[in-house]
C-alpha cells in the first residue's frame, strides 16, 4: 500500500514560545486504516555531529482516510496539536 498526504509536515508546526522541550503523542482517527506512533531517528548532521529527530511512524493497514493528530506538551501546562488527513491507497 502507498501512504499519501496532501500537505508536507513542517518542523515548525509545533514549537514552544518559551523554548521548553516538548514531548509528543500521536493518534489516528481510524486504526483499522493506519496505526501511528512516535519514534526517534538518529543521524549525523552536516557538521558530523550526532543528532536525533522525532518522527511519526506510520503503518498502513487498509485503503481509506484517517485523521492523524500530533500533540505536543511542554510539561508545564502548555500544549498544542495539529491534525491532517492521511490517505492510504492501493498501489497501482
Which among 11, 3, 4, 23 has a CA at the least distance from the CA of 78? 23
Number of domains in the chain: 1
Whether the model clears a pTM of 0.75, i.e. scores above it, the answer is no
25 vs 5: CA distance, rounded Å: 19
Q: pLDDT tens for residues 62-91?
A: 999 999 999 989 899 988 888 999 999 987
Residue 32 counted as domain residue: yes
Domain that holds residue 64: 2-6+17-89
* CB count in 10 Å sphere of residue 58: 18
Q: pLDDT tens for residues 20-69?
A: 888 889 999 999 999 999 988 888 888 999 888 778 889 999 999 999 99
Residue 12 counted as domain residue: no
Residue 42 counted as domain residue: yes
| Sheet bearing 64-73, strands edge to edge | 2-5, 79-89, 64-73, 23-28
Amino acid at each position: 500500500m502507498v501512504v499519501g498526504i496532501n500537505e508536507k509536515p513542517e518542523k515548525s508546526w509545533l514549537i514552544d514560545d518559551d523554548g521548553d522541550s516538548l514531548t509528543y503523542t500521536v493518534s489516528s482517527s481510524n486504526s483499522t486504516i493506519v496505526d501511528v506512533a512516535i519514534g526517534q531517528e538518529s543521524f549525523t548532521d552536516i557538521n558530523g555531529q550526532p543528532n536525533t529527530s522525532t518522527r511519526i511512524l506510520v503503518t498502513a493497514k487498509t485503503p481509506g482516510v484517517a485523521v492523524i493528530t500530533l500533540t505536543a506538551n511542554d510539561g508545564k501546562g502548555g500544549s498544542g496539536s495539529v491534525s491532517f488527513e492521511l490517505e492510504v491507497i492501493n498501489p497501482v
